């Protein structure tokens, strides 16, 4: 049956009708809000390439988390900028580390908000790499030990979820037993299972002060050209015991989000990363794009591709727009 009997425009005639047949809906409950935590008091230092996003001291992070929670955002994810960087990233596994302090303060103020601790070494090391470095090599297995120690420290500080983001082989199978041995059997693991070596992380590296001092991340992060390999990474993380998996970045990898969604039964997160955010903010500031419309469209696209959860710097704005309160 085709035209003139069939007319798809019939179902697009009014806003109510369009809403009734809508296949994908976006809601505040889909978002995870990333935050950058620094030492000090009363600090809100805006990141130049990420307008609207600040490095926050713990007191300010509590206020920001409160605002997110009140808007209906269920979870935040924390990145730390340490006081001192060294070759093994000591502050990462110190109970007095900046993220540990923030976790305790946020959990105390907002016990129901889900706290996710990003787990990587690059923000904490003086060389800016995601692992222990020997010569110009990033050592895999030596790094795993440190990740296990840091995961336990985050769990002790109150993290509900540990999110290893360093793309070391075996990271989930190192963290799970480390957590379990300390009694944290109910702390879950959101693995950055499929993370590409992307140029879209540029602004984040300014925000988290974790630019590698030499070389790049191509020996551990994935080649943007590969899709089958994503399924291999996924299979390994499933076997190792990940509770949730992430694809990152989001927009150039919507096909990967779809494949991952179809290939497993775990919740799938997608990370709408700093460079994706920066592009929108820059175009909007120039009056070249309608920020509200494009943000809701791109977040809908990420969800339609198969993401159950979206880590996004737009989370607070998008929530206000969705609730029609702005």
- In this complex, which beta carbon is closest to ligand PBG, that of residue 130 or of residue 309? 130
**84 contacts 91 by C-beta, under 8 angstroms:** yes
Q: Residue 19 phi/psi, 5° resolution? A: -65, -40
Smallest distance from ligand PBG to CB 215, Å: 12
Determine the Cα–Cα distance for residues 67 and 64; give it in Å rounded to an integer: 5
Return the residues of window 28-57 that contact ligand PBG according to CB under 6 A.
none
- In this complex, which beta carbon is closest to ligand PBG, that of residue 37 or of residue 120? 120
Smallest distance from ligand PBG to CB 201, Å: 4
* Strand 268-272, strand 309-312: pairing: parallel
Around Cβ 211, how many Cβ atoms within 10 Å? 12
Is the preceding omega at residue 90 within 30 degrees of 0, hence cis?
no
Determine the Cα–Cα distance for residues 104 and 114; give it in Å rounded to an integer: 12
Helix axes 98-109, 140-157, angle to 10 degrees: 30
The C-alpha R_g of the chain, in whole angstroms, comes to 20
State yes or no: is 48 an active-site residue. no
- In this complex, which beta carbon is closest to ligand PBG, that of residue 109 or of residue 283? 283
The maximal CA–CA distance of the chain, rounded, in angstroms, is: 70
Single residue of 80, 89, 97, 166 touching ligand PBG by CB under 6 A: 166
Catalytic residue among 107, 248, 281, 316: 248
- In this complex, which beta carbon is closest to ligand PBG, that of residue 105 or of residue 138? 138
**Residue 130 binding ligand PBG, by CB under 6 A:** yes
**Residue 99 binding ligand PBG, by CB under 6 A:** no
Number of residues that bind ligand PBG (CB under 6 A): 12
State yes or no: is 149 an active-site residue. no
Return the residues of window 180-239 that contact ligand PBG according to CB under 6 A.
201, 204-205, 217
Single residue of 37, 78, 273, 315 touching ligand PBG by CB under 6 A: 273
Single residue of 120, 171, 175, 178 touching ligand PBG by CB under 6 A: 120
Smallest distance from ligand PBG to CB 58, Å: 20
DSSP-derived secondary structure for 311-322: EETTHHHHHHHH
- In this complex, which beta carbon is closest to ligand PBG, that of residue 122 or of residue 318? 122
Determine the Cα–Cα distance for residues 118 and 115; give it in Å rounded to an integer: 10
For residue 31, the number of C-alpha atoms closer than 13 Å in the C-beta half-sphere is 28
Q: Residues with catalytic annotation?
A: 195, 248
Residues at the interface with ligand PBG (CB under 6 A): 118, 120, 122, 130, 165-166, 201, 204-205, 217, 273-274
């Amino acid at each position: 049956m085709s035209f003139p009997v069939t007319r798809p425009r019939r179902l697009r005639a009014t806003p109510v009708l369009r809403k009734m047949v809508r296949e994908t809906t976006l809601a505040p409950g889909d978002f995870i809000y990333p935050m950058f935590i620094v030492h000090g008091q009363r600090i809100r230092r805006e990141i130049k390439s990420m307008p609207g996003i600040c490095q926050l001291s713990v007191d300010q992070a509590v206020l920001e988390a409160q605002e997110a929670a009140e808007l209906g955002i269920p979870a935040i994810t924390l990145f730390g900028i340490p006081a001192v960087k060294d070759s093994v990233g000591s502050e990462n596994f110190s109970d007095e580390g900046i993220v540990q302090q923030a976790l305790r303060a946020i959990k105390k103020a907002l016990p129901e908000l889900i706290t996710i601790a990003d787990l990587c070494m690059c923000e904490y090391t003086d060389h800016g790499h995601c692992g222990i470095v020997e010569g110009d090599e990033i050592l895999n297995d030596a790094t795993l030990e440190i990740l296990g120690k840091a995961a336990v420290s985050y769990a002790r500080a109150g993290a509900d979820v540990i999110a290893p983001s360093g793309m070391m082989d075996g990271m989930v199978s190192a963290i799970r037993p480390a957590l379990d041995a300390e009694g944290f059997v109910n702390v879950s693991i959101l693995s950055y299972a499929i993370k590409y070596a992307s140029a879209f992380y540029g602004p984040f590296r300014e925000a988290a002060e974790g630019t590698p001092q030499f070389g790049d991340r191509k020996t551990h992060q994935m080649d943007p050209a590969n899709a089958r390999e994503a399924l291999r990474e996924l299979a390994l993380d499933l076997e190792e015991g990940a509770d949730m998996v992430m694809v990152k970045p989001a927009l150039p990898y919507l096909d990967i989000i779809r494949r991952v969604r179809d290939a497993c039964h775990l919740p799938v997160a997608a990370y709408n990363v700093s460079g994706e955010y920066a592009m929108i903010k820059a175009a909007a500031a120039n009056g070249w794009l309608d920020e509200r419309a494009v943000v809701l469209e791109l977040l809908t696209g990420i969800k339609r591709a198969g993401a159950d959860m979206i880590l996004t710097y737009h989370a607070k704005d998008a929530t206000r727009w969705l609730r029609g309160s702005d």
